[in-house]
């Protein structure tokens, strides 16, 4: 019996030593004796692989960003659905009518009920005006397609006065989009989906700011008929565009486009699609206007230097105007 116990104890000791020394060769290990061990050095020393302080900080930072992103997106969704609820309440509280009147969803829809909308707006000016402005700003804020249709609808409802109205509402809605992007979306979201475009725009803004031509550059971007206005609205707070030049560039830069759309209401019955509004001739005119706005942005310093030179004499002294 004593011999059996000694044999068992020897076997147990051998198994224990083999389990601890993971670098010891095994019967099934066919590697050469000089080959490196497949186990990490930390395991050889019976140490655990724990994350370092830098890894812990990075993990916490990533978790914090995910939490902040979730909160911001939740708040943005709350603003979106809250605004949509306000529009719904305004629509259902409109004065009752026997005619089937609703917010137009297409150009044909607008053409079919333009006369009814005009008469209804004349009879109930304030409720229709509040609903129109609320829907218009909502579409601009959240980049909902259909700005041209809303401009034409404004021309149907308010005639010439729709032109300054939609210009102002476009600037207001775009400014709301600017603020929502700055405080709710954040630069990480914009950079994630449009990093290359954001970096390019940032370089152009910095270059024109150094030259003192930032406003003219912003004006050119809005006058150019193919600029992605929704991207400019969301990216502007992260490329160093102040909010006041941003607002003014939209108000003045989109005047030609808004005017063309509002004036299209006068020939609404002749329109078959939005392509009839932005014809080749109209697009060429918009390109010409945007090129004129680009001149100060490109040659602003030379023009300023030439202007200062006109105010000096040949000897370099300033020319004084003679007072009468």
Overall domain count for the chain: 1
Q: Which of 200 and 56 is assigned the larger pLDDT?
A: 200
Q: What is the pLDDT of residues 64-117, one digit of tens each?
A: 666 777 888 888 899 999 999 999 999 999 998 888 888 888 888 999 898 999
Q: Does residue 127 contact residue 223 with C-beta atoms inside 8 Å?
A: no
Q: Does residue 312 sit within a domain? A: no
159 domain-assigned: yes
Report if residue 125 sits inside a domain.
Answer: yes
pLDDT band at 322 (very low <50, low <70, confident <90, very high): very low
- In order, the DSSP letters of 247-287 are HHHHHHHTHHHHHHHHHGGGGGGG-SSGGGTS-HHHHHHHH
Q: Is residue 218 part of a domain?
A: yes
165 lies in a domain? yes
Q: What is the pLDDT of residue 290?
A: 74
Residue 312 CA, chain-centre distance (Å), reads: 47
Residue 249's pLDDT band (boundaries 50, 70, 90)?
very high
Q: What is the mean pLDDT of residues 159-185?
A: 93
DSSP string, 148-213: HHHHHHHHHHHGGGHHHHHHHHHHHHHHHHHHHIIIII-HHHHHHHSHHHHHHHHHHHHHHHHHT-
Min mean pLDDT across 167-171, 197-201, 275-279 is at 275-279
Please name the residues in contact with 210: beta carbons below 8 A apart, sequence gap of 6 or more: none
pLDDT at residue 44, rounded to an integer = 47
Within-domain flag for 8: no
**Is 151 domain-assigned?**
yes
In a domain, 50, yes or no: no
* Bridge partners, 312 (sequence order): 318
Q: In this predicted structure, what is the pLDDT of residue 102?
A: 84
Residue range 111-140: average pLDDT?
94
% pLDDT > 70, the chain: 69
The whole domain housing 282 covers 61-95+103-299
Q: pLDDT tens, 307-319?
A: 556 555 444 444 4
């Amino acid at each position: 019996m004593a011999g059996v116990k000694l044999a068992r104890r020897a076997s147990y000791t051998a198994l224990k030593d083999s389990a601890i020394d993971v670098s010891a060769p095994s019967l099934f290990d066919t590697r050469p004796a000089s080959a490196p061990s497949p186990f990490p050095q930390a395991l050889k020393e019976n140490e655990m692989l724990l994350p370092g302080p830098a890894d812990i900080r990075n993990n916490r930072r990533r978790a914090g960003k995910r939490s902040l992103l979730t909160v911001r997106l939740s708040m943005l969704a709350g603003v979106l659905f809250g605004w949509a609820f306000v529009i719904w309440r305004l629509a259902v509280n409109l004065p009752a009518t026997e005619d089937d009147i609703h917010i137009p969803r297409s150009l044909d829809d607008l053409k079919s009920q333009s006369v009814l909308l005009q008469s209804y707006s004349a009879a109930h000016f304030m409720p229709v005006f509040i609903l129109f402005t609320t829907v218009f700003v909502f579409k601009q804020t959240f980049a909902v397609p259909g700005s041209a249709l809303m401009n034409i609808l404004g021309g149907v409802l308010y005639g010439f006065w729709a032109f300054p109205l939609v210009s102002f509402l476009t600037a207001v809605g775009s400014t709301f989009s600017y603020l929502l992007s700055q405080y709710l979306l954040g630069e990480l979201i914009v950079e994630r989906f449009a990093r290359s475009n954001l970096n390019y725009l940032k370089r152009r803004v910095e270059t024109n700011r150094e030259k003192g031509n930032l406003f003219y550059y912003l004006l050119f971007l809005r006058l150019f008929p193919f600029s992605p206005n929704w991207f400019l609205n969301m990216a502007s707070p992260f490329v160093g565009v102040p909010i006041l030049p941003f607002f003014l560039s939209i108000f003045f830069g989109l005047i030609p486009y808004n005017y063309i759309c509002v004036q299209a209401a006068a020939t609404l019955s002749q329109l078959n699609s939005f392509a009839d509004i932005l014809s080749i001739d109209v697009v060429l005119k918009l390109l010409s206007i945007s090129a004129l706005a680009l001149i100060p942005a490109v040659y602003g310093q030379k023009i300023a230097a030439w202007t200062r030179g006109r105010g000096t004499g040949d000897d370099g002294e300033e020319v004084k105007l003679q007072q009468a």
